[in-house]
Homo-oligomer: A and B are copies of this chain.
Amino acid sequence: MVDKIKVAVLGSTGLVGQRFIQILSDHPWFEVVYVAASEANVGRKYGDVVTWLMETPLPENISELEIQSSRPELIPRNIDIVFSALPSEVALQIELKLAKRGFIVVSNSSPLRLEPDIPLINPEVNWDHLKLVEHQRKNRAWNGVIIKNPNCTTAILTLSLKPLLDAFGIKRVIVCTLQAVSGAGLKGVPSMLIIDNVVPFIKKEEEKVENESKKILGKLEGNNITLAPISISAITTRVPVLDGHLELVHVELSREAEVGDVINVMSKFKSLPQELSLPTAPTKPIVIRFEEDRPQPRLDKYAEKGMSVVVGRVKRADGLGRNWIKYVVLGHNTIRGAAGIAILIAELYMKLNNLI
């Protein structure tokens, strides 16, 4: 490749921003040329501003970059893709303006996720929803595009559900989560609240899981996505774990399935990102562990560089009815659930549109 595609990262000093930087730092297609953070830090060096918490060192070249503004009108034209790790409060206006200015915006922020003309993409699950982009452009009369990745919990859950939906159909899903503190950002969870404790509440999380999952698992028909006719109920909790969301899942399938069959369809599951050999696509989107006590956040979060989800403890929950199964699924919340999935979406979009 002659030149890499130039990308910007907004919200680059937060935990998701840092993941973007980390994953992009040796990306074969993309090159970070623009890192934006709060106005107060504009002009300072990235390395002097960030509290770098990734497990690999801050790349030297990024460290030297000057922090830029997030103001849409200041983002230079030579950038193709803008990755947004902006906080929800400010994301909406900035992202809308960027799309109007013609940028490809791939965003981890929550606003617009449920809008009918905004693709909400979990690449292996609903890559075909990217076709909404055409409609979005016409509908909103802009040249750019906004594509959203789902909430982290939803990303992990729906990836594990997709092969079940395809093979057996799904009627009801009950999911209880144990979520890492990184999901709340650098200062989101004070240690006084979580040491020797669990907090059984995450603001708006249960609604996100319930609503976003139905859109992602839904069907694109014309310019519309028909929500999946699945009933979902979630209880979400915060646990004293740095990274890695664990989800305890009960599923009522549309028809009976043996444990072996469930494991089989999950284990074999591949999709377009794998066929296209996209750089960030995991070889196996779903890794099955057979030990009785896995997956565990600390031990399994980096499966396939954090881009796979890890499933274990698959069982029938016969007591509830013949079609019920249960399992545990783990995913890295800031990789598979945020920065990594956004980058995979960008790869997919560029490839499908022959932009790479």
Query: A residues bordering B, Cβ < 8 Å?
Result: 15, 51, 53, 55, 172, 174, 176, 178, 181-182, 186-201, 210, 231-233, 235, 237, 239-242, 246, 248, 250, 292-299, 302, 312-313, 317, 319-321, 324, 326, 328
Contacts and interface: CB of A to CB of B under 8 A. Distances in A.
A200 B233 contact: no
Contacts of A294: 200-201
Contact of A240 (B191, B193, B312): B191
A192 to B, nearest CB: 5
Contacts of A181: 191-192, 195
A192 B242 contact: yes
24 contacts: A51-B193, A53-B299, A55-B302, A178-B237, A181-B195, A189-B191, A191-B195, A196-B196, A196-B242, A196-B298, A197-B241, A197-B298, A198-B296, A199-B293, A200-B293, A201-B292, A201-B294, A210-B319, A231-B321, A233-B319, A233-B324, A235-B313, A235-B328, A240-B240
Contact of A201 (B51, B186, B250, B313): B313
A299 to B, nearest CB: 7
A116 to B, nearest CB: 20
Contact of A248 (B237, B296, B317): B237
B172 A240 contact: no
Given A196-B196, A201-B292, A235 B326 contact: yes
Name the residue in A55, A172, A198 with the highest tally of chain B Cβ atoms < 10 Å from its Cβ. A198
- Contact residues of A: prevailing secondary structure: mixed
Given A197-B296, A233-B317, A186 B176 contact: no
Contacts of A313: 200-201, 235
A200 B240 CA distance: 14
Given A172-B320, A188-B192, 13 more contacts: A51-B193, A55-B302, A178-B237, A187-B187, A191-B193, A191-B194, A191-B240, A197-B296, A198-B246, A201-B294, A233-B250, A235-B326, A240-B241
A176 B248 contact: yes
Given A248-B200, A296-B200, A320 B195 contact: no
- Residue among A189, A239, A297 with max Cβ neighbours from chain B (10 Å): A239
Contacts of A53: 192-193, 299
Contact of A297 (B198, B298, B317, B319): B198
A71 to B, nearest CB: 28
Nearest to A172: B320
A319 B188 contact: no
> Which of the listed residues A55, A191, A233, A241 has the most CB atoms from chain B within 10 Å of its own CB?
A191
A121 to B, nearest CB: 23
Contacts of A242: 192, 195-196
A190 B187 CA distance: 5
Nearest to A231: B319
A297 B324 CA distance: 30
Which of A186, A196, A297, A326 has most chain B Cβ within 10 Å? A196
Contacts of A15: 192
A293 B205 CA distance: 13
A312 B294 CA distance: 29
Contact of A191 (B55, B190, B299): B190
Given A189-B190, A191-B191, A201-B313, A235 B176 contact: yes
